[in-house]
Structure 1
Amino acid sequence: MNKLGRKLLVASLCACMAAASLTGCGSKAGKAAVTVGDDTASLGLVNLMLRYNQAQMQSLYASFMGDNMWETYGETTKSNIVESLENMFLMEQHMSDYGVSITDEDKTKISEAATRFIEENDEKTVKAMNATQENVERLLTLYTVQSRMYNAIIAGVDTNVTDEEAAQKTVKYVLFSTAGSTDEDGNSVEMSDEEKAAKKEQAQKLLDAVKGGEDMADALTELGEDRSPVTSSYGADNGTLNDTLKEAADKLSDGEVADELIETDGGYYVLQMVTTFDEEKTNEQKETILSQRKSDLYTETLDGWKEDAKISTDSDLLTELDFTDTYQMKETETETSTDTTETETGSEAGSEAETTEAATEAASEAGTTEAATEAASEAETTEAATEAASEIETTEAATEAASETETETAAEK
């Protein structure tokens, strides 16, 4: 097993949890809650995976979402965990198709990691999470299968992305907004014709200055505008420029300024083409396209398997898993924790031998709510955040939101 694989096994669950008024699944823990073909996940296994993810989300997002976090996101999180387990079972059942296996060495590492996890949590927490040796080993095995199967599946992706397919243009612009405002009573106040005319006059002064050779930012300052031009990149199938701006931009060559003000419902634009081929942004778009190809292939493969699989869940049994209790990640300073929780960005982790994108991209099939993802984007990129992203899947909407790099406001559009 490679170095990163070993890290995943230990770091995924080797952290202490603290919970209040903990209760486990009791006598129902061994009952089948999720069934995929001949494989079953007991209620105890579902509970273990759910509580670990709950603890991660609690640590990362609680400060953004407040005390009622689980009233809002609890059931969605549970549904995503169930779907993740179904996907893991399907991947395990198709391992031989891709030459993927779990070796005796893997099993030994998994067993050792499971033992450490149980030892580093108090008896009350272990019981509440149904963290038996069997359950922890089973979950770690499924995570390992997920990682290797994801990499095996995406190995068939066409990695050739041409410049033409990914080509990005970059423009800069200034909007002189004619949008209305809101008064102190919350009422909408439309801009008068005189105010709009003043905005247009200011915009025309900027346009004349830039057409005369002045830098757009310098000309703005001279006009008394305390702001900077917006820089935006776009391609044939991506970007945040509205259609009117894009149509005007496509007529410009490098450095060229649109001859006239571009008028939209939002106001008056002064537009300049920076470059009709932005190499840096084009390369970034190539990575985005490649990532999407991987995600699409992974999703299509799983969807194909699901069509032929017999999948069932015991909804009544799953209602036993509520969100009355609070679970928190608790830092440890043991040798194991120190060795396996060194801070890494996702890209640094990915550079070590076999990448574990399974946790990140494989997981992009079910996932966290959009609110949770937005909250995560405001937090620092710690290893805890990376691991959370690895095991709690992101929605398509969150992925698209994360890919937005432009600074356009709704008014500007």
Structure 2
Amino acid sequence: MKKRVLLFAITGLLAAGVLTGCGSIDENDVVATVGEKEITADVANFFARYTQAQYETYYSGYLGDDMWNTDASEGETYEEFVKDSVLNELEKMIVLEEHMGDYDVSLTEEEKAVIEKSAKAFDEANTLESKEKISGSRKTVKRVLTLMAVQKKMAEAIEAGADTEVSDDEAAQKSMQYVLFPYKTTDDSGKSSDLSDEEKAEAKKKAGSFAEGAGTADDFSALATEQGVEAQTATFDSESTSPAEDVVKAADALGEGEVTGVIETDSGCYVAKVTSLLDREATDSKKESIVQERKTKLYNDTCDKWIKKAGVKVNKGVWRKVDFNDLSVTIKQSSEEPYSDGAKTDDQAE
């Protein structure tokens, strides 16, 4: 979602239609202070509504009409979860803007022009009533887009300092072929049911017979087909959990070409063959993942350090006025390519 928001910020594709609902906020109030910098209610409200729109557009179908009161985790609703993340992002944006000089980061004239164009497009696409409900004045939209653009450039600058060297040993991924003799069956309607104890015993017996043959078979997959099952492939390391933790543990202890015995799990009986101790493609992909994890950690740690040093004070009374249940905001996009310059969108909040 962060990536999508940033793309909107740098391409100028931001517009909205008509909103319905109630709710108002004094835009001059201060939601939070980060060091000496204030996060005003208009900025917090607009960014919150923009984030709300992402969720209502893409997740309401899964979470239902009462999505904001649904638990995101134990003791926390989706509204509380999203509002916490919005405030955290705003705090990061503020400190990132304050430290632009540390990384020689600035917005180019072209980027400023795109932001100006975006704010103007949003302003012209909305009624005054709509903009008032989401604090969507041209000035506020311009400020939020500026913060998002700065965040993107600062994130790139900070992440450039991450260590990108990853050895094969650190990222090594093995590969296996495996078959499952399941303890469940699925009917034509897609409904699954457990096998009887007798049927499970028969499945386990078949797995044992397959394991015996797999130890000497030239083609694991062909043997599986002969016995009416399908061989699957997977790459793994010692921390993998798929296809099953016990299967990974057993395969990880074997050499290349070796076959496990029958591994019984709740879902059925597995038999696996290690096909490579260093899968090149999977290992290279893991390296990229490790590098990205390092970049993300460096970025988050840097922001957290700056925020902690600056200190944050939140005016909970003001922030509480941003209520997702009082106002629904969704985005409706046209079928045109949304991220190319000059494309049009038909974003609508309802």
The Cα offsets for residues 34-68 of structure 1, whole Å up to 9 and x where unpaired, read as 21112112111111111111122222112222111
Counterpart Cα distance in 2 of 1:124 and 1:317: 21
Shift of 1:253: 3.2
Name which of 213, 219, 227 aligns with 2:217: 213
Match for residue 245 of structure 1? Answer: 247
Match for residue 37 of structure 1? Answer: 35
Shift of 1:310: 1.9
Match for residue 154 of structure 2? Answer: 149
Alignment of 1:160-179 (within 5 A): 160-177=165-182
Name which of 310, 324, 327 aligns with 1:325: 327
Shift of 1:326: 1.5
Q: Secondary structure at the match of 2:292?
A: helix
Structure 1, 42-51 or 330-339: larger mean CA deviation: 330-339
Match for residue 48 of structure 1? Answer: 46
Q: Residues 248, 214 of structure 1: CA spacing in aligned structure 2 closer, same or farther, 3 A cutoff? A: same
Structure 1, 329-338 or 317-326: larger mean CA deviation: 329-338
Shift of 1:87: 0.7
Q: Secondary structure at the match of 2:32?
A: strand
Match for residue 206 of structure 2? Answer: 202
Q: Residues 10, 118 of structure 1: CA spacing in aligned structure 2 closer, same or farther, 3 A cutoff? A: farther
Alignment of 1:12-411 (within 5 A): 14-25=14-25, 28-72=26-70, 73-177=78-182, 192=197, 194-213=198-217, 215-225=219-229, 228-240=230-242, 242=244, 244-258=246-260, 260-263=261-264, 267-323=268-324, 324-331=326-333, 339-341=341-343
Alignment-mate amino acid for residue 88 of structure 1: M
Contact (CA 8 Å) 2:238, 2:249: kept in 1 or not?
no
Instruction: With the length of structure 1 as denominator, give the TM-score of the two structures.
Output: 0.70
Counterpart Cα distance in 1 of 2:33 and 2:227: 68
Shift of 1:316: 0.7
Q: Residues 132, 189 of structure 1: CA spacing in aligned structure 2 closer, same or farther, 3 A cutoff? A: closer
Counterpart Cα distance in 2 of 1:278 and 1:41: 49
The Cα offsets for residues 112-162 of structure 1, whole Å up to 9 and x where unpaired, read as 321121111222211211111221111011001101110111111111111
Q: Secondary structure at the match of 2:180?
A: strand
Counterpart Cα distance in 2 of 1:7 and 1:274: 42
Alignment-mate amino acid for residue 236 of structure 2: Y
Alignment-mate amino acid for residue 164 of structure 2: T
The Cα offsets for residues 171-217 of structure 1, whole Å up to 9 and x where unpaired, read as 12223355899xxxxxx98953x544322221122123323426344
Q: Residues 8, 247 of structure 1: CA spacing in aligned structure 2 closer, same or farther, 3 A cutoff? A: closer
Alignment-mate amino acid for residue 9 of structure 1: A
Q: Secondary structure at the match of 1:329?
A: coil
Counterpart Cα distance in 1 of 2:7 and 2:317: 36
Number of positions where the alignment pairs a residue of Structure 1 with one of Structure 2: 328
Q: Residues 43, 110 of structure 1: CA spacing in aligned structure 2 closer, same or farther, 3 A cutoff? A: same
Shift of 1:167: 0.8
Counterpart Cα distance in 2 of 1:306 and 1:299: 10
Shift of 1:104: 4.8
Alignment-mate amino acid for residue 29 of structure 1: E
Structure 1, 99-108 or 299-308: larger mean CA deviation: 99-108
Structure 1, 330-339 or 109-118: larger mean CA deviation: 330-339
Q: What's the Cα RMSD here?
A: 3.2
Q: Residues 320, 67 of structure 1: CA spacing in aligned structure 2 closer, same or farther, 3 A cutoff? A: same
Alignment-mate amino acid for residue 295 of structure 1: T
Larger % of helix: which? 1
Shift of 1:218: 3.5
Shift of 1:325: 1.8
Alignment-mate amino acid for residue 293 of structure 1: R
Counterpart Cα distance in 2 of 1:79 and 1:7: 22
Structure 2 unaligned blocks of 5 or more:
71-77, 187-192
Q: Residues 102, 189 of structure 1: CA spacing in aligned structure 2 closer, same or farther, 3 A cutoff? A: closer
Structure 1 unaligned blocks of 5 or more:
182-187, 344-383, 385-413
Shift of 1:170: 0.7
Q: Residues 104, 246 of structure 1: CA spacing in aligned structure 2 closer, same or farther, 3 A cutoff? A: closer
Shift of 1:220: 3.3
Counterpart Cα distance in 2 of 1:333 and 1:180: 41
